[in-house]
């Protein structure tokens, strides 16, 4: 049993024959739960969230909650409840907007939220900022302060004495406060529309934005409006966030009434309308209802239509959809009320009224309604309770069939069988004065004459109340035992009343559960308001009734409902509550913004330590509601370094903790534990706030090796210190104003530079190349310097070496040269791959300005760098890289009557062509540029239809030449090869037709075919671009080659081999008893079976009625589908080396024999199917 108690979800194990019921787990919510749905192993909980943000008072800077902003959101939490003792949060989605309604259809949950169409804009705020510190002239023994000869009674008044410490927000600060207040996100130009977030998945941090809820941007009317969003959630998904949403603008006022079926959802919004009388000019006012239809489709939410009717609806039971028509009953009560029934039809994008009954029960209004197929009932009331019966079988001509007038009215009606309505409402006097709560039973078997069979009053006065009158979920009728259980309260007595309902014996009380009472010394209305618990629901589990209140569950045996079997306390603190709900985006941001990390010191200047501080004013929360704080520090890799707890919003890290932390950049997070629940646990961690821990002395940040072009020293910033407050003297910030820098020669130790009070954390040097040491210290505002840092060594490199340009060459050991460098005694050379990191060759201690590698380098492109070693022992910078390419002989690629070659780095190319197989030269050129010849006939004037031998070699910029390429053979008038089209597997008996692309220069084609590696056919003289093998194909693997034949019997190369598989298909048959069987296939041990249900015309009714993929038998019994039309597919499955090959499908349409029953053979066959399935899974 899953129930909500205050702000917790409580899971209860139901009682059994051997064990009592017990609370097995509790989950704490930070929001107000309003609905939940149980779907298999998933529990979806919907909660309402209101976040209040106080404003600054413009005069005093104080915080006043009555003048505050409210951000309203709806939270959807999906829980995995496989383990009832430890439900796990799978996903949480936060939606901007006010909860309106929710519905569940299968695994889908649909949520409806509203947002005001006009955005809230806060007033201009004031901000306190540090100003001139007041001069304190004296402090007397009782802490009175005298400032500028004015006595102030306490330290709290110190800020008021210095009004200059307040200022108005700047424009950017104001815009940012608007964004934080309304949306909790970074402000962009123009207020953004409402949006959606989801809780981070595993391995993520923070809340992930899912984007805005964009809707209709039509301009709203002056009399108001709102945007309504419907969101769809798939509870069975691994990350069940919203899968679809639809936002629309609704004109009107009040809440949205929601009615839903399995396929459609209707949203109804009340509007006021007015028409002007053309004769008198007077305005006639009335109420109306705007109806929006939304399709709940497989592809998400779709707006399908809109309609309008006169009057307003009472509740969701005022609407009903049947056979494609929407029936709706309304009351128009602008002046004298009337009631109407309308029937609407979806015609395109409009819901049009096609039938109606107007003027029902004038001067009265609708209290309840119920529909059942072609029937309907409506209860109205003013002095008596007319119940009207409606015939709705003709949607275009609905009519009233009967009417029953009795005192009182019914708030809710429920069909308990085809002929009886059970209702709850109130009695009334003949004058219409409302009396006691009563339950009524109506006979509706005769639609022309509804009859009140029985009526039962729950009390004898007008002060009783049942939540079942307004919440149909509290109306618990148990048809199997003919019992109704409803909550009922009279003054401060709260209970569940059980009534037996029988057509013959009437309605009688058979038991009372509970008796929740307030303080017995408090009477009358005071007792009513002092009541802190009440029954809300009841549910039947086995033979017991569980009566559920806000704080407890009472269990009785339905055979003896007056005897309490067990009572559970839902707020049992022995079962610890687990935190569930997270923080809103605004709250997490404000919590992180409210965390401060500061270095503290005593007034005398002694360091106190690193302080973690939580500012409740910046966070917009009250410390009174927080029992405990936890601060967590993580490094850049998100590893948790330490967690520190405190009952106060301040923590000062110990010396050991600071030593453990060291210096660096970290994230600090905070979470709190509520003081409102004695057993509450900590909530979600806030988003991380970045902070840096720096040493008390500066640390060198610049490289230990500086270049001559960038001789800049950089160091870390030293944090300011905060002097602790004493008595009435406020804390004071001791700022760092600058740094002292001392530099010495690393070899001699002689000081060569001393700079004082540098007001930056960097400085440019004007020192020559060499090795140095540097010391740094901070200078504070009060003039006291900090400690000198440890010595930091650094070097300044000499001038960069300039390497001479290199060209592409065939030389495998090219000479590398560079410009001389002053004071350089030796050089170092480095040859790498173009990436600059993979070494190929290196040499050191070179005494000249050129070098020839001591070994040959492979062909390719290389990057070369050189640097010098100065006499001072310092190296120069590496030179800028230079590139050299070493090339070999080119390769030729023949394409039809043309050819191309690679000409990397070449100035020109030498081309040589002979008649193939001879020394007869037909073309020679040493000045060819580019890297290709398109056609030797048109470009070089060679003869068509001949065959040639071709060579090329490249001539490089340094005059060297590559070796000649390998000889390539070119056929001047025909394509190189034929491109054959790919083919799908064929079935035995089909024709095997081969096709290919037309080839240049081809007069005919030649085809070569083999089967299973053995020659089958060779056919020449084919004039078309396709060929069909004679006869029907038999099973096997076919290999096919095609080549072109041109003029003079010139032949292209054979094209790439094409493989075609010809497979046998099983033959299907069905016996008179409904046994499906099929023939075996060679080398096939398994078969796949697929069955769909179709109608008599062959149209699909249900897909995947049967799908078995690992059948080892060749039969299947269809007797269980007696008389149904089926379409059947079967194919063979061959498994070779873990690779699956499928035969073509064999298809058959059959009708399973009517009345066929499973025989002993079919039972054995079914058992064999089960075993096959188990073996396949194993």
Angle at 621 between CA 618 and CA 625, to 5 degrees: 150
State residue 573's pLDDT score.
58
Read off the pLDDT of residues 448-461 as tens digits, 9 standing for 90 and up: 999 999 999 987 66
* Range in 372-376, 615-619, 1078-1082, 1107-1111 with the lowest mean pLDDT: 615-619
pLDDT band at 784 (very low <50, low <70, confident <90, very high): low
- Asked whether residue 597 falls in the same domain as residue 688, the answer is yes
- Asked whether residue 1093 falls in the same domain as residue 957, the answer is no
State residue 538's pLDDT score.
94
- Asked whether residue 846 falls in the same domain as residue 825, the answer is yes
Q: Which are the contacts of 453, defined by CB distance < 8 A and separation ≥ 6?
A: 420, 441, 442, 443, 503, 506
Residue 864 in this model has a pLDDT that exceeds 90: yes
* Range in 788-797, 1150-1159, 1167-1176 with the lowest mean pLDDT: 1167-1176
What number of other Cβ atoms are within 10 A of residue 1001's Cβ? 19
Mean pLDDT of the chain: 80
Residue 931 in this model has a pLDDT that exceeds 70: yes
**C-alpha–C-alpha distance, residues 241 and 196, integer Å:** 10
Read off the pLDDT of residues 785-839 as tens digits, 9 standing for 90 and up: 788 888 999 988 888 889 999 888 888 889 999 999 877 889 999 999 988 888 9
Single out the residue in 250, 273, 296 at which a domain terminates: 250
| Average confidence (pLDDT) over 591-613 | 66
Residue 209 in this model has a pLDDT that exceeds 70: no
Q: Which helix (H) or strand (E) holds 179?
A: helix 171-182
**C-alpha–C-alpha distance, residues 1170 and 1178, integer Å:** 12
Residue 782 in this model has a pLDDT that exceeds 80: no
Q: Which of 20, 3, 28, 14 is nearest to 673 (CA)?
A: 28
Helix then strand count (H, E) for the chain reads: 7, 88
State residue 706's pLDDT score.
86
| Average confidence (pLDDT) over 224-229 | 73
Rg of the Cα atoms in the chain = 45
| Average confidence (pLDDT) over 332-345 | 85
Listed ranges 91-100, 211-220, 301-310, 525-534; the one with the highest mean pLDDT = 301-310
pLDDT band at 184 (very low <50, low <70, confident <90, very high): very low
Q: Which of 891, 790, 884, 803 is nearest to 849 (CA)?
A: 803
Distance of CA 121 to the CA centre of its chain: 30
pLDDT band at 139 (very low <50, low <70, confident <90, very high): very low
Give 730: exposed, middle or buried? Use CB within 10 Å, 0-12, 13-18, 19+.
Answer: middle
Residue 723 in this model has a pLDDT that exceeds 70: no
Report the percentage of the chain scoring pLDDT > 70: 79
**C-alpha–C-alpha distance, residues 983 and 990, integer Å:** 13
Listed ranges 223-227, 324-328, 401-405; the one with the highest mean pLDDT = 324-328
Q: How far is CA 846 from CA 96, 799, 841, 882, in A?
A: 73, 18, 14, 18
pLDDT band at 1169 (very low <50, low <70, confident <90, very high): low
Q: Which are the contacts of 1119, defined by CB distance < 8 A and separation ≥ 6?
A: 1073, 1074, 1152, 1153, 1156, 1157, 1158, 1159, 1162
Residue 267 falls inside a structural domain: no
pLDDT band at 606 (very low <50, low <70, confident <90, very high): low
Residue 913 falls inside a structural domain: yes
Residue, of 119 and 668, whose pLDDT is higher: 668
**C-alpha–C-alpha distance, residues 554 and 494, integer Å:** 12
Residue 840 in this model has a pLDDT that exceeds 70: yes
Helix/strand/coil for 821: coil
pLDDT band at 621 (very low <50, low <70, confident <90, very high): low
* Range in 355-369, 549-563, 716-730 with the lowest mean pLDDT: 716-730
Find residue 1167's DSSP bridge partners: none
**C-alpha–C-alpha distance, residues 1022 and 1010, integer Å:** 18
The DSSP code sequence of 358-410 is EEESTT-EEEEEEEETTEEEEEEESSEEEEEEEE-SSTTS-EEEEEEEEESEE
| Average confidence (pLDDT) over 887-900 | 88
pLDDT band at 317 (very low <50, low <70, confident <90, very high): very high
Residue 76 in this model has a pLDDT that exceeds 80: yes
pLDDT band at 1168 (very low <50, low <70, confident <90, very high): low
Inter-residue contact 1169 to 1128 (CB < 8 Å): no
State residue 1176's pLDDT score.
58
What number of other Cβ atoms are within 10 A of residue 1007's Cβ? 20
| Pair of tokens at residue 1078 | 């099929």
Crossing angle of helices 171-182 and 585-593, rounded to 10° = 130
| Pair of tokens at residue 127 | 């901000």
| Average confidence (pLDDT) over 1056-1085 | 86
Residue 126 in this model has a pLDDT that exceeds 90: no
Read off the pLDDT of residues 364-398 as tens digits, 9 standing for 90 and up: 889 999 999 999 999 988 766 689 999 999 999 99
Inter-residue contact 561 to 545 (CB < 8 Å): yes
- Asked whether residue 58 falls in the same domain as residue 192, the answer is yes
Q: What are phi and psi of 808, to 5 degrees?
A: -65, 140
Residue 557 in this model has a pLDDT that exceeds 90: yes
- Asked whether residue 875 falls in the same domain as residue 1009, the answer is no
State residue 1175's pLDDT score.
61
- Asked whether residue 641 falls in the same domain as residue 764, the answer is no
Q: Measured on CA atoms in the order 893, 895, 897, 900, is the torsion positive or negative? A: negative
- Asked whether residue 963 falls in the same domain as residue 1029, the answer is no
State residue 212's pLDDT score.
62
CATH of the domain at 921: 2.60.40.10
Residue 344 falls inside a structural domain: no
Single out the residue in 100, 135, 168 at which a domain terminates: 168
Inter-residue contact 244 to 260 (CB < 8 Å): no
Inter-residue contact 108 to 234 (CB < 8 Å): yes
Find residue 232's DSSP bridge partners: 110, 244
* Range in 403-417, 549-563, 720-734, 1017-1031 with the lowest mean pLDDT: 720-734
Residue 541 falls inside a structural domain: no
| Pair of tokens at residue 74 | 């709806």
* Range in 31-45, 86-100, 598-612, 1107-1121 with the lowest mean pLDDT: 598-612
Helix/strand/coil for 440: strand
Q: Given its phi and psi angles, is residue 348 left (phi above 0), alpha (psi -120 to 50 degrees) or beta? A: left
Helix/strand/coil for 815: coil
Inter-residue contact 997 to 981 (CB < 8 Å): yes
Residue 116 in this model has a pLDDT that exceeds 70: no
pLDDT band at 125 (very low <50, low <70, confident <90, very high): low
Residue 1026 in this model has a pLDDT that exceeds 50: yes
Residue 336 falls inside a structural domain: no
The DSSP code sequence of 968-1026 is EEEETTS-SB--BPP---EETTS--EEEB---TT-SEEEEEEEETTEEEEEEEEE-SSE
Domain range for 952 is 892-971
Residue 265 in this model has a pLDDT that exceeds 70: yes
**C-alpha–C-alpha distance, residues 261 and 266, integer Å:** 9
- pTM for the whole structure: 0.51
pLDDT band at 532 (very low <50, low <70, confident <90, very high): low
**C-alpha–C-alpha distance, residues 765 and 710, integer Å:** 9
| Pair of tokens at residue 818 | 């560079």
**C-alpha–C-alpha distance, residues 762 and 741, integer Å:** 10
> How does DSSP classify residue 813?
S
Report the percentage of the chain scoring pLDDT > 90: 35
pLDDT band at 731 (very low <50, low <70, confident <90, very high): low
Residue 730 in this model has a pLDDT that exceeds 70: no
| Average confidence (pLDDT) over 1063-1081 | 87
Token pair 């094209």: residue: 1055
* Burial track 891-922 (b if 16+ CB lie within 10 A, e otherwise): ebebebbbbbbbbebbeebbbbbbeeeeeeeb
pLDDT band at 127 (very low <50, low <70, confident <90, very high): low
Residue, of 721 and 131, whose pLDDT is higher: 721
Q: Measured on CA atoms in the order 614, 620, 623, 626, is the torsion positive or negative? A: negative
- Asked whether residue 192 falls in the same domain as residue 60, the answer is yes
- Asked whether residue 821 falls in the same domain as residue 779, the answer is no
Inter-residue contact 653 to 646 (CB < 8 Å): no
Inter-residue contact 543 to 558 (CB < 8 Å): yes
Residue 588 falls inside a structural domain: yes
Torsion of CA 60, 63, 64, 65, to 10 degrees: 170
State residue 687's pLDDT score.
77
State residue 335's pLDDT score.
61
Helix/strand/coil for 1148: strand
- Asked whether residue 1143 falls in the same domain as residue 1120, the answer is yes
Residue, of 954 and 1157, whose pLDDT is higher: 954
Residue 470 falls inside a structural domain: no
- Asked whether residue 963 falls in the same domain as residue 1106, the answer is no
State residue 163's pLDDT score.
40
Residue, of 160 and 1132, whose pLDDT is higher: 1132
The residue ranges of DSSP E strands in 179-299, in sequence order, are 195-199, 207-212, 225-234, 242-251, 253-260, 264-276, 283-297
State residue 239's pLDDT score.
73
Q: What are phi and psi of 1168, to 5 degrees?
A: -65, -35
| Average confidence (pLDDT) over 603-617 | 67
Q: How many residues does the chain have?
A: 1178
Residue, of 520 and 42, whose pLDDT is higher: 42
What is the number of structural domains in the chain? 8
Residue 671 in this model has a pLDDT that exceeds 50: yes
Q: Which of 633, 743, 733 is nearest to 691 (CA)?
A: 633
Residue 72 falls inside a structural domain: yes
- Asked whether residue 108 falls in the same domain as residue 219, the answer is yes
Single out the residue in 203, 232, 250 at which a domain terminates: 250
Distance of CA 714 to the CA centre of its chain: 44
């Amino acid at each position: 049993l899953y129930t909500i108690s205050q702000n917790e979800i409580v899971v209860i194990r139901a009682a059994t024959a051997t064990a009592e019921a017990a609370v097995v787990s509790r989950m704490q919510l930070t929001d107000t739960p309003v609905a939940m749905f149980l779907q298999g192993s998933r529990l979806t909980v919907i909660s309402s969230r209101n976040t209040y943000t106080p404003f600054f008072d413009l005069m005093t800077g104080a915080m006043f909650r009555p003048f505050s902003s409210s951000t309203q959101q709806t939270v959807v939490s999906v829980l995995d409840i496989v383990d009832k003792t430890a439900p796990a949060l799978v996903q949480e989605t936060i939606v901007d907007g006010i909860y309106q309604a929710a519905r569940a259809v299968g695994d889908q949950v649909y949520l409806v939220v509203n947002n005001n169409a006009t955005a809230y804009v806060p007033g201009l705020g004031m901000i306190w900022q540090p100003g001139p510190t007041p001069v304190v002239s004296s402090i007397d023994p009782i802490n009175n302060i005298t400032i500028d000869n004015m006595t102030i009674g306490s330290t709290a008044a110190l800020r008021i004495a210095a009004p200059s410490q307040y200022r108005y927000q700047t424009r950017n600060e104001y815009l940012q406060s608007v964004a934080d207040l309304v949306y909790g996100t970074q402000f962009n130009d123009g207020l953004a529309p409402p949006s959606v977030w989801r809780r981070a998945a595993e391995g993520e941090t923070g809340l992930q934005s899912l984007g805005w809820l964009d809707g209709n941007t039509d301009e709203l009317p002056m009399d108001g409006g709102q945007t309504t969003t419907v969101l769809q959630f798939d509870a069975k998904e691994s990350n069940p966030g919203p899968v679809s949403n639809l936002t629309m603008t609704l004109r009107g006022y009040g809440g949205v009434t929601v009615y839903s079926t399995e396929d459609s959802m209707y949203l109804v919004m009340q509007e006021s309308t007015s028409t002007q009388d053309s004769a008198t000019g007077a305005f006639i006012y009335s109420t109306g209802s705007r109806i929006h239809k939304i399709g709940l489709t497989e592809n998400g939410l779709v707006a399908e239509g809109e309609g309008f009717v006169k009057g307003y609806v009472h509740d969701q039971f005022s609407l009903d959809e049947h056979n494609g028509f929407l029936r709706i009953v309304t009351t128009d009560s602008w002046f004298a009320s009337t009631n109407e029934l309308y029937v609407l039809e979806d015609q395109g994008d409009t819901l049009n009224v096609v039938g109606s009954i107007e003027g029902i029960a004038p001067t009265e209004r609708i209290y309840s309604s119920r529909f059942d197929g072609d029937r309907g009932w409506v209860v109205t009331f003013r002095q008596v309770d007319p119940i009207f019966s409606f015939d709705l079988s003709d949607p275009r001509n609905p009519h009233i069939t009967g009417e029953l007038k009795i005192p009182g009215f019914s708030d809710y009606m429920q069909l308990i069988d085809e002929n009886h309505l059970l209702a709850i409402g109130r009695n009334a006097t003949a004058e219409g004065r409302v009396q006691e709560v009563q339950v009524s039973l109506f006979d509706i078997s005769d639609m022309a004459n509804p009859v009140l069979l029985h009526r039962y009053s729950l009390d004898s006065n007008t002060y009783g109340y049942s939540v079942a009158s307004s919440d149909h979920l509290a109306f618990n009728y148990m048809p199997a035992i003919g019992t109704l259980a409803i909550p009922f309260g009279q003054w401060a007595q709260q209970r569940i009343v059980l009534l037996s309902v029988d057509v013959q014996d009437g309605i009688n009380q058979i038991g009372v559960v509970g008796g929740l009472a307030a303080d017995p010394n408090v009477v009358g209305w005071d007792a009513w308001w002092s009541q802190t618990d009440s029954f809300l629901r009841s549910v039947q589990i086995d033979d017991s009734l569980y009566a559920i209140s806000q704080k407890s569950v009472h269990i009785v045996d339905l055979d003896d409902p007056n005897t309490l079997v067990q009572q559970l306390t839902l707020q049992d603190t022995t079962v610890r509550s687990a935190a569930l709900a997270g923080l809103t985006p605004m709250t997490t941001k404000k919590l992180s913004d409210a965390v401060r990390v500061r270095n503290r010191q005593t007034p005398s200047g002694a360091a106190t330590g690193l302080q973690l501080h939580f500012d409740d004013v910046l966070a917009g929360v009250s410390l009174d509601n927080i029992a405990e704080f936890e601060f967590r520090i993580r490094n850049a890799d998100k590893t948790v370094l330490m967690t520190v707890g405190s009952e106060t919003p301040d923590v000062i890290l110990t010396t050991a903790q600071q030593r453990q932390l060291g210096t660096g950049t970290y994230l600090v997070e905070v979470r709190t534990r509520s003081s409102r629940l004695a057993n509450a646990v900590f909530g979600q961690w806030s988003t991380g706030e970045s902070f840096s821990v720096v040493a008390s002395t500066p640390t060198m940040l610049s490289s230990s090796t500086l270049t001559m072009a960038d001789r800049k020293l950089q160091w870390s910033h030293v944090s300011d210190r905060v002097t602790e407050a004493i008595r009435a003297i406020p804390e004071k910030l001791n700022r760092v104003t600058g740094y002292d820098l001392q530099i010495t020669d690393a070899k001699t130790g002689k000081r060569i530079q001393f700079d004082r009070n540098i007001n930056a954390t960097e400085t440019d040097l004007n020192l020559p190349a060499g090795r140095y040491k540097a010391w740094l210290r901070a200078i504070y505002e009060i003039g006291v310097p900090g400690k000198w840092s440890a010595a930091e060594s650094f070097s300044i490199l000499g001038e960069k070496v300039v390497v001479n340009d290199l060209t592409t060459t065939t030389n495998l050991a090219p000479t590398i040269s560079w410009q001389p460098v002053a004071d350089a005694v030796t050089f170092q050379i480095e040859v790498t791959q173009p990436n600059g990191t993979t070494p190929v060759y290196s040499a050191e201690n070179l005494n000249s300005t050129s070098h020839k590698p001591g070994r040959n380098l492979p062909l390719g492109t290389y990057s070369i760098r050189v640097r010098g070693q100065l006499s001072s022992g310092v190296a120069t910078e590496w030179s800028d890289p230079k590139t050299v390419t070493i090339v070999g002989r080119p390769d030729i690629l023949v394409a039809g009557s043309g050819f191309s070659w690679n000409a990397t780095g070449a100035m020109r190319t030498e081309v040589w062509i002979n008649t193939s197989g001879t020394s007869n030269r037909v073309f020679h050129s040493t000045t060819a540029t580019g890297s290709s010849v398109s056609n030797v006939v048109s470009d070089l004037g060679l003869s068509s239809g001949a065959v040639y031998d071709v060579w090329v070699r490249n001539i490089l910029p340094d005059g060297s030449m590559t070796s000649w390429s390998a000889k390539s053979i070119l056929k001047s008038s025909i394509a190189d090869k034929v491109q054959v089209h790919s083919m799908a597997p064929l079935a035995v008996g089909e024709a095997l037709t081969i096709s290919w692309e037309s080839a240049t220069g081809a007069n005919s084609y030649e085809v070569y075919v083999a089967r299973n590696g053995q020659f089958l056919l060779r056919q020449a003289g084919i004039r078309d671009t396709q060929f069909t093998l004679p006869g029907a194909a038999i099973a096997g693997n076919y290999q096919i080659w095609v080549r072109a034949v041109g003029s003079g019997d010139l032949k292209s190369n054979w094209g790439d081999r094409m493989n075609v598989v010809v497979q046998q298909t099983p033959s299907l048959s069905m016996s008179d008893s409904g046994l499906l069987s099929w023939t075996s296939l060679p080398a096939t041990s398994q078969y796949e079976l697929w069955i769909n249900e179709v109608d008599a015309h062959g149209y699909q009714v249900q897909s995947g009625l049967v799908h078995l993929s690992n059948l080892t038998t060749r039969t299947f019994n269809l007797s269980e589908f007696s008389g149904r039309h089926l379409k059947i597919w079967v194919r063979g499955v061959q498994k070779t080396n873990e690779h699956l090959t499928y035969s073509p499908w064999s298809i058959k349409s059959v009708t399973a024999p009517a009345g066929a029953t499973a025989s002993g053979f079919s039972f054995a066959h079914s058992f064999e199917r089960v075993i096959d399935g188990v073996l396949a899974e194993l």
